[in-house]
Structure 1
Amino acid sequence: MKIYLDNAATTYPKPDSVRNAMLNYMTDLGASPGRGSYASALESSRIVYDCRESICKLFNFDKPENVIFTANITHSLNMLLKGFIKPGCHIITSSMEHNSVLRPLFELKNSLGIELDIIDCDENGLINVENVKNAVKSNTKLVVMTHCSNVVGTIQPLEEIGSICKENNIDFIVDCAQTAGAMEVDFKKLNCSALAFTGHKGLLGPQGIGGFLITDAFNEKCNSLILGGTGSLSSQLVQPDFLPDKFESGTLNTPGIAGLYAGVRFLLKTDVKSIEEKEMNLAKIFLDGLLNIDKTILYGLKDIKGRTSTISVNFKDMDSSELSFLLDYQYGIMTRTGLHCAPLAHKTIGTYPSGTLRFSIGYFNDEKDINYTLNALNSILK
């Protein structure tokens, strides 16, 4: 028996339609979008554009040409941060960020001398909005923040933070790696300047595809880091300044985009709210079961409200890495241990440097998986 509970790392399994869409592209099309006027190339271009439109629908965004495809959300965040931040900027972020935000910011702090405020969250990984408001200075140019912790699943109050940014004319970048496809993510409600996403998690697409949505105003302030062929204005030796070409140099990962398009269509057809309800119902069963195990140390919110289905724990008198190994070796249950690429988050919740054992439930799990996992934990811990 195999139980996959590492959906915060990447979702598995994928819908059949994702595999079929990628296979169809590879076997029946194969051409690069924007690189030819023959039928297969035009059809490839349609797939890419249709995917942009479906992403707009999913995130309540109005401009398909402002949907930019990248290799993954780490590339997206690096492009946005390094393309925008200049010397003298003051940047605000949180202590629950992934290294895809922290490492670029620390590099920019060292190379450009920017001012960086990392707002400490509480022991549940939740940020205090007033602390963000109080951190704003005259030279604050940007707030960048994760929508939800990849360690403890705590959802941040980003609509309130977005309102603070709007009131103070501060740009706002949202990392929705853990929430896109798992709950409603509304670009307009967040008041963000750019929204970075990855394709292989809640959007149910393959690895190797991600992107960002960007407003016209923020685009004007953001430089492109990678220049090259775009299939447009090929006679010119300067990069096109219009979207999406400004940020999309080189051949796109069209098989990945075809798979992402199928994943997003699955989400829209199934309804994200239904997906969230199913995942959270399973998470509640799992949380209740964990809290009935005497040795459980649960991190993050104890209640199901205000969190996603990502759950981090440790168990008294049991090494989490050994436990993860036994779950896999003896029971076929796949989990993740360690620091989850978020060292400051673990310092915030008190689990640095050993980390936690993380269970992350997905749409294709069921109640049988959860009960089997709880029984396995009880058996090992006894």
Structure 2
Amino acid sequence: MDDTKPTIYLDNAATSWPKAPGVIEAIEQSLRESAANPGRGGHRMAVKASRVLFEGRKRLAKLFRVGNPNDIAYALNTTHALNLAIQGLLEPGDHVVTTTLEHNSVRRPIEAMKRRFGIDATFVSSDAQGVLNVKALEAAICAKTKLIVVSHSSNLFGSIAPIGEIGEIARRRGIKLLVDAAQSAGVLPLDVAQMGIDMLAFPGHKGLMGPQGTGGLYIHPNLELEPLMHGGTGSKSEAPEQPRVRPDRYEAGTQNTAGIAGLSEGVQYILKETPDAIREKELQLTFELMEGLQRINGITLLGPEIGVERTAIVSFVVEGVDPSEMAFLLDQQFGIAVRAGFHCTPLGHETAGTYASGAVRASPGYFTKKSEIVSMIDAVGEIVGRLRNGNFA
């Protein structure tokens, strides 16, 4: 087996692979031709680097229906963006409503602010399939509620939250809405104005098909956040305070120009292919995987049933088989890459009833082949049979 890469990659919910055509070339070109500091000099190479960043912003704005590209601040990843949004908005005494479906990138900043600043939080439970009760979410709102934080799609269940409906509630109640688009950016339609989204946190390395170390946060033009980091911006350098002009206010320090060049190329590919086409293919592969796994005795699938709208995430447990062992054998014996464990969402596993063991998560991508789905189903079936017969070498 080639140790440099897996034969079959089904871990796209963590990081997409392979990347979109042109992404690697764009990164290389940036390093060769525009490797200077963007916004930090007037020479040609620095100006060219600045253009790389702005072109990426324009493409992201087009994808998310953002009016002004400068309302998008680049970040290292979704976690960075979520921390900027949560820590930049909430103040002592505030209340936040969120859900048990959230990633630790939401839960941990909230818990830290509870300890440090005395904010309060309500985690609204979903049902056992990861479907959120919007009425329960609205019922959790109180007089001190300042923010609602919701994952567009659960990274454990693949379930999809009704963001437009939640956005309408937030607007009506005068509350800000932060959406975690880690599993939806590039796959599900996102229109920040139409859906009532005040802040949208997204990764570059998942559905946008860019490199790791990229991502961003859309911030509504009427919303002012306290910067997460303070430092050099290349603008208003004479001032002791962080400038208020966007996006500089939220982008202290030198940006990842080469990575953003790759992200920009990934977004351009998605705009050409369209999220609808990407979603249609991924959904077909997902349902085929679910149907095949369901035929294996002792397997329980998590999340919505086959045919119900979801993202390309298939989490499952096998009776009597440790998820980590299953993932290890898939990798070592069959060259199939999946993810096992708690997926940084322990509250989600409590909801699913899998907190004691975790689960196996397989996540097809746009470049996954049908034959690879068949290979995954066959491999799981073989592993289950051999483990139960006690003859797995």
For normalisation by structure 2, the TM-score amounts to: 0.95
Question: Partner of 1:163 in structure 2?
Answer: 168
Equivalent residue in structure 2 for 1:259, among 259, 262, 269 = 262
Say yes or no: does 1:16 pair with 2:21: yes
Say yes or no: does 1:95 pair with 2:103: no
Say yes or no: does 1:378 pair with 2:378: no
Aligned pairs (5 A) from 1:263-278: 263-278=266-281
- C-alpha displacement of 1:306: 2.3
Say yes or no: does 1:305 pair with 2:316: no
- How many angstroms apart in 1 are the aligned matches of 2:306 and 2:62? 31
Question: Partner of 1:341 in structure 2?
Answer: 344
Equivalent residue in structure 2 for 1:126, among 120, 125, 131 = 131
Q: Deviations over 1:188-214 (max 9, x none)?
A: 232011100110000000000111001
- How many angstroms apart in 1 are the aligned matches of 2:242 and 2:117? 25
- Three-state SS of the structure 1 residue aligned to 2:249 is coil
Aligned-residue sequence identity (percent) comes to 41
- C-alpha displacement of 1:28: 2.2
Question: Partner of 1:203 in structure 2?
Answer: 208
Aligned letter for 2:117?
L
User: 8 Å contact 2:158–2:310 — kept in the other structure?
Assistant: yes
Question: Partner of 1:58 in structure 2?
Answer: 63
> Relative to structure 2, which stretch is displaced further, 99-108 or 372-381?
372-381
Say yes or no: does 1:152 pair with 2:157: yes
Aligned pairs (5 A) from 1:223-234: 223-234=226-237
Say yes or no: does 1:365 pair with 2:362: no
- How many angstroms apart in 1 are the aligned matches of 2:356 and 2:119? 28
- Three-state SS of the structure 2 residue aligned to 1:189 is coil
- C-alpha displacement of 1:16: 3.2
Question: Partner of 2:391 in structure 1?
Answer: none
Question: Partner of 1:179 in structure 2?
Answer: 184
Aligned letter for 2:124?
I
- C-alpha displacement of 1:184: 1.2
Question: Partner of 2:76 in structure 1?
Answer: 71
- How many angstroms apart in 1 are the aligned matches of 2:279 and 2:360? 22
- How many angstroms apart in 1 are the aligned matches of 2:213 and 2:307? 31
User: 8 Å contact 2:8–2:335 — kept in the other structure?
Assistant: yes
- Three-state SS of the structure 1 residue aligned to 2:248 is coil
- How many angstroms apart in 2 are the aligned matches of 1:64 and 1:29? 21
- C-alpha displacement of 1:225: 2.2
Say yes or no: does 1:4 pair with 2:32: no
- C-alpha displacement of 1:152: 1.3
- How many angstroms apart in 1 are the aligned matches of 2:14 and 2:261? 21
Equivalent residue in structure 2 for 1:281, among 280, 284, 307 = 284
Q: Deviations over 1:49-84 (max 9, x none)?
A: 011010010011111111100111111111111111
Aligned letter for 2:217?
F
- How many angstroms apart in 1 are the aligned matches of 2:135 and 2:148? 14
User: 8 Å contact 2:322–2:357 — kept in the other structure?
Assistant: no
User: 8 Å contact 1:339–1:353 — kept in the other structure?
Assistant: no
- C-alpha displacement of 1:331: 0.8
User: 8 Å contact 1:321–1:338 — kept in the other structure?
Assistant: yes
- How many angstroms apart in 2 are the aligned matches of 1:372 and 1:54? 36
Question: Partner of 1:236 in structure 2?
Answer: 239
- How many angstroms apart in 2 are the aligned matches of 1:365 and 1:289? 16
- How many angstroms apart in 2 are the aligned matches of 1:304 and 1:340? 24
Equivalent residue in structure 2 for 1:291, among 290, 294, 297 = 294
- How many angstroms apart in 2 are the aligned matches of 1:192 and 1:257? 23
- How many angstroms apart in 2 are the aligned matches of 1:302 and 1:96? 17
Question: Partner of 2:45 in structure 1?
Answer: 40
- Three-state SS of the structure 1 residue aligned to 2:211 is coil
> Relative to structure 2, which stretch is displaced further, 299-308 or 43-52?
299-308
Aligned letter for 1:128?
N
For normalisation by structure 1, the TM-score amounts to: 0.98
Question: Partner of 2:388 in structure 1?
Answer: none
- C-alpha displacement of 1:30: 1.1
- Three-state SS of the structure 2 residue aligned to 1:238 is coil
- C-alpha displacement of 1:27: 1.6
User: 8 Å contact 2:179–2:199 — kept in the other structure?
Assistant: yes
Give unpaired runs (5+ residues) of structure 2.
2-6, 386-393
- C-alpha displacement of 1:44: 1.0
User: 8 Å contact 2:208–2:267 — kept in the other structure?
Assistant: yes
User: 8 Å contact 2:113–2:119 — kept in the other structure?
Assistant: yes
Question: Partner of 1:212 in structure 2?
Answer: 217
Aligned CA RMSD, in angstroms, stands at 1.0
Question: Partner of 1:111 in structure 2?
Answer: 116
- C-alpha displacement of 1:337: 0.4
> Relative to structure 2, which stretch is displaced further, 49-58 or 314-323?
314-323
- Three-state SS of the structure 2 residue aligned to 1:16 is coil
Say yes or no: does 1:28 pair with 2:20: no
- C-alpha displacement of 1:297: 0.8
User: 8 Å contact 2:201–2:216 — kept in the other structure?
Assistant: yes
